[in-house]
Amino acid sequence: MADVLVSMKIYPSDVNVDLELVKRKIKENLPEYASIYRFDEEPIAFGLVAIIAHIILPENRSGGIDEIESCLQKIEEVSQFETQMVRRI
């Protein structure tokens, strides 16, 4: 059975937000079947840096991306996010 790699761009709520704290909260809030492959950072503008989270999910998990989005909405340091890519690996 294959896995799915989901890349999500996550915008912090403020320029002064500690990105390491946000990354830790993302890891802690993911469902048990999801895991972080890696994090990247992408400068946006005026000191704002977005986090690109690459998350691995099992292919047969229905609604997995919706659950991840629900988990991200609960993190107060996250203002918004968008799914950039979903790929089978």
pLDDT band at 18 (very low <50, low <70, confident <90, very high): very high
Percent of the chain at pLDDT above 90? 87
Report domain extents, the chain.
3-88
Q: Tell me the mean pLDDT in the region 7-24.
A: 96
**DSSP bridge pairs for 73:** none
Residue 61 has pLDDT above 90, yes or no: no
- Domain spanning 3-88: CATH superfamily: Ribosomal protein S6/Translation elongation factor EF1B (3.30.70.60)
Mean pLDDT within 62-69: 90
* 3-state secondary structure (DSSP) of residue 19: helix
Which tokens belong to 70?
């629900």
Residue 21 near residue 29, CB atoms below 8 Å:
no
Element (H, E) at 68: helix 64-73
